[in-house]
Structure 1
Amino acid sequence: MSDAHGPTDDATTDEFEPIQVFPEAEEMDLRPGADNCYKCSTCDTNCPVAEVDDEFPGPKFQGPEQWRLKRQDDHDVDESVMKCSNCMRCDSACPSDVPLSQMHNTARGEYVDEQMDTFSREYVRNRILANYRRLAPLGSMFPRTTNFVMGLSVTQWLGEKLLGITSEREFPSFATETFREWWERRGGHAASKKRAQEARERRGGAVSKTRAGEVPGARGDEQARNEEKRIAYFHGCYSNYNTPEVAKSLVRVYEHFGYEIVVPDQHCSGTPMFANGMLADARRSAETNVRELAAAIEDGADIVASCSSCSMSLRQEYPELFDLAGIEDVAANTWDAVEYLRVHEDLESELEGTTVDEDLSFAYHAPCHARNQGLDGQTVELLDRIDGVDAHDVGDSCSGISGTYGWKAENYETSMKIGSEMFEHMADANADTGLTECPTCSMQMEHGTGYDITHTLEVLDAALVGSATEGPGRE
């Protein structure tokens, strides 16, 4: 209800008492901001699903309009909420700052808890996709066997027939050594601390570092300098089990700047759980992550993530959906890995004049979750400073896969329609390789174009540390 006060009658002394039109609303999770929507439909016109699927009612209905209906106890959550891809583009599009994705996440959770049959194929499939971290350790125990079995056409056929996981996509391969296995074999935090100290000595002592929310240099050199440069790395599931080369590049780049790196115990960020309405699962993961990351912050570390969806989850979705001790500190001190170096180090100057072994041309896609954090322009700007590297931004279109969304058989065609603009722009870019910070966007880019895809951190690693696969500092 509105907080605005109406005209007063001087002859009336009785205190005004507002009437609760819908008493049951107090018991409902009606998110603040629903009444800020003035139905301009900007969110709908920016929704990639609504653009290609005429039957999808769009984020305006899924958010504020649905919550208005929920004030009346005769309305269930509409099943179309499960067609939302959780790209979260509606959040940044809304001129009134209505928390649309928060409403969508809450609605999906209620729909799954109260309206979805837990014995249905859809529920079982969604639960499996949402909890990739629980299955990945099993697959990574025997990676070569797992990759062979998952690559068989009969496996993909069975996946679609039994679970509704599309057979059109190839399952991602498991690495023969996970990042955490490499990290422990390398010596873990002790080895990182030693390398960080050596890097600081080579670079002439401590390098300035500011804390979250500060402007670099604003407090003066003496106050900004910090001998204990420390970050806690939230690597997420995919960089651990499938693309550890991304995580290794982060370690090498940060050690190049003299940072000690700690790798806390962690669970999935929760992004696939939010997208599938599995909020209880997401909360359990959040409890572990917030506890471990808050402890790292107390020890002087900032949190960095190499996946844009992971940083988005920790920064925005956690404090929106959960009330946990330390959650606000975690959100305030979480950074995208490249963003952190731009703010706390002179990364642009450091890249000036650097080179890579061979000329490289990239077709760069900024993930939706990076755009929502205001990070869409940083990669192209940075890579332009490296000699021999040419990065082409392929536009602001959505890749279409949106995590687990594009893996569902019923969403596959919609996913590819959404991604078609990105595919066309990549083909026109005349590039050698695709580039993005989101692991599932990289799957879609490779699937739709045949490009090999790499991560921005791998390019920074090649330019700053060197591209030799073995040798000092590159285990």
Structure 2
Amino acid sequence: MSDAEQASDFDPTTTVDEFEPVDVFPSSEDMDLRPGADNCYKCTSCDTSCPVAEVDESFPGPKFQGPEQWRLKRGEDVDIDDSILSCSNCMRCDDACPSSVPLSQMHNTARGEYVEEHMDKLSREYLRNRMLSNYRTLASIGSKVPRLANFVMGLGITSVLGEKIMGIPSERDVPEFATETFRQWFKKRGGSKVTNPDKQVAYFHGCYSNYNTVEVGKAMVRVFEEFGYEVLVPKQQCSGTPMFANGMLKDARREAEVNVRELGKAIDNGADVIASCTSCSMALRQEYPELFDIEGIEDLSEHTYEAMEFLRIHEDLEGTIRESEVDPQAFAYHAPCHARNQGLDRQAVELFRELDGAQIEDVGDSCSGISGTYGWKSEKYETSMKIGAEMFDHMEHAEGDVGMTECPTCAMQMNHGTGYEIRHPLELLEEAVAN
């Protein structure tokens, strides 16, 4: 199919199909996933789509981790298999399944049960995973003294000790903290420069755009203001994505309760919720209603959008782009797995090929391999890099030597594997329409 034909498939007046979570908590306090398990007819589509199973022969794959494991638990007292911790939570299996088995829901539930009931809470692995899951806590501390924190984290001895003591791979470069957080910048500028009660969006910036890549949050604000939106920045916690991936469901629920309550206030006043990270929008849209029963959670799911998706639906973004231009530049674009799961994997390519001066090339549908915290574990580092090898190769053969993606951890992996500078689509969009 040609690019033009693919572009014609997008209808900006429609949204991604609403996600309908399976009811897996009927009346009992015990999580019962048999309704979803019974839909599986063992076609193995999920296994063939799994990036971990492709490079790790010891990993049994999504089919075992999901429906087969829950079938085993039905008949007898069977413990969750510890291989569940090797699932990266990329959620590609959800898209691959032809019979709508709630695989990621099963995996998240199984991880939570395994961590809660079988993991040694004093083990290095548990403490490391808990630290990675609660990155927001560490970032809030580091951002108070960003220059000192960046200096200490950049020392070679810090990397060595991190691997020996906590199991953080020394090969990874710890991301630097911004000298001014996004929320500090937003408050200093006096909030939104646009006042428009009829066009308001609530920005869910997430942890990384607040503490590290502040330029992404700034770009989001300026772009939406250019289209006449008043941008609100409500109180918020982590989306919970790293907690889901590490089985820390109690931590994730704690964060979700704050987010549902605070973002719900904005929704009640007519705003939609916008995320610049596709993993954050995925959490609010799908994982929250799958895993938690919190009042208002359905409203949050229904009113959450990825930033460019929202503009494509509600504004003539394509028309604006066709009338814009930027300095000549070429990009190697990678669609994150969590963008694919929301049907957003083609939007940056479709949009920016109409932008005068920009050249954008999709580097394929392979997973980057980092999967949030997955690639930040010493025992998973080699697997992470094997998964990412195809993407690295495609990037190096692309015309551009600047990468592009919506996911901050994919950006880390892209930079780590190629040395390329990585930009967010919102940064190019800002250059095109808001400068």
Give the 3-state SS of the residue equivalent to 1:232 in structure 2. strand
Aligned to 2:110: 107
Structure 2 residue 223 is the aligned partner of structure 1 residue 253: yes
Is the partner of 1:33 in helix, strand or coil? helix
Query: Pairwise mapping of residues 73-472 of structure 1 onto structure 2 (< 5 A)?
Result: 73-189=76-192, 191-193=193-195, 228-356=198-326, 358-466=327-435
The letter for the 1-side match of 2:401 is D
For 1:72 and 1:299, how far apart are their aligned partners in 2? 49
Q: Structure 1, residues 217-242: CA drift from partner, whole Å, max 9, x if none?
A: xxxxxxxxxx7100000000000000
Aligned to 1:3: none
Q: Secondary structure at the match of 2:359?
A: strand
- Structure-2 separation of matches of 1:463 and 1:386: 8
Query: Does the 8 Å contact 1:175/1:244 carry over to 2?
Result: yes
Residues of 1 paired with 2:162 and 2:421: CA distance?
A: 25
Q: CA deviation at 1:30?
A: 2.0
State how far apart, in whole Å, the 2-side matches of 1:290 and 1:135 are. Answer: 23
Q: Deviation at 1:73?
A: 3.8
Offset at residue 27 of structure 1 (A): 5.6
Aligned positions of 1:21-40 closer than 5 A: 28-31=30-33, 32-40=35-43
Instruction: Quote the offset at 1:120 in angstroms.
Output: 0.3
Partner AA of 1:427 in structure 2: E
1:71 CA drift (Å):
1.2
8 Å contact 1:28–1:71 — kept in the other structure? no
Deviates further, 423-432 or 301-310? 423-432
Matched, 1:55 2:58: yes
Match of residue 8 from structure 1: none
Question: What letter corresponds to residue 394 of structure 1 in structure 2?
Answer: V
Q: Give the distance between the partners of 1:447 and 1:391, measured in 2 at CA.
A: 20
Identity %: 68
SS across alignment from 2:420: coil
Query: After the TM superposition, which of the residue ranges 379-388 and 269-278 deviates more from structure 2?
Result: 379-388
- Secondary structure of 1:156's counterpart equals helix
Please list the CA deviations of residues 186-243 of structure 1 after superposition, one character each: whole Å capped at 9, or x if unmatched. Answer: 0014x442xxx6xxxxxxxxxxxxxxxxxxxxxxxxxxxxx71000000000000000
Report the residue type matching 2:281 in the other structure.
Answer: S
Partner secondary structure for residue 335 of structure 1: strand
1:50-109 per-position Cα deviation (integer Å, ceiling 9, x unaligned): 000000000000000001111134210000000000000000000000000000000000
1:305-337 Cα deviation digits (max 9, x unpaired): 000000000000000000000000000000000
1:29 offset after TM fit, Å? 1.1
Instruction: Point out the structure with max Rg over C-alpha.
Output: 1
Structure 2 residue identity aligned to 1:435: M
* AA at the equivalent of 2:242: P
**Structure 1, gaps ≥5 residues long:** 1-24, 198-226, 467-475
After TM superposition, the structure 1 stretch with the greater mean CA deviation from structure 2, 227-236 or 308-317, is 227-236
Equivalent pairs, count: 408
CA distance in 1, matches of 2:200, 2:28: 44
Structure 2 Cα separation of the partners of residues 98 and 175 of structure 1: 41
| Conservation of the 8 A alpha-carbon contact between 1:360 and 1:432 | no
Q: Distance in 1 between matches of 2:395 and 2:28?
A: 49
Measure, in 2, the Cα distance between the counterparts of 1:386 and 1:51: 37
Q: Counterpart of 2:431 in structure 1: which amino acid?
A: A
Q: Distance in 1 between matches of 2:294 and 2:375?
A: 31
CA RMSD of aligned residues (A): 1.1
Q: Whole-Å Cα distance in 1 between the matches of residues 31 and 217 of structure 2?
A: 38
Distance in 1 between residues matched to 2:231 and 2:213, nearest whole Å: 19
TM-score, normalised via structure 2 length: 0.93
- Give, as a single letter, the amino acid of the residue that structure 2 aligns with 1:391: I
Question: Structure 1 length normalisation: TM-score?
Answer: 0.85
Instruction: Describe the superposition over 1:283-310 as per-residue Cα deviations: whole angstroms up to 9, x where unpaired.
Output: 0000000001111100110000000000
Q: Within 1, Cα distance between the matches of 2:280 and 2:204?
A: 8
- The 2-side partners of 1:28 and 1:184 are apart by 44
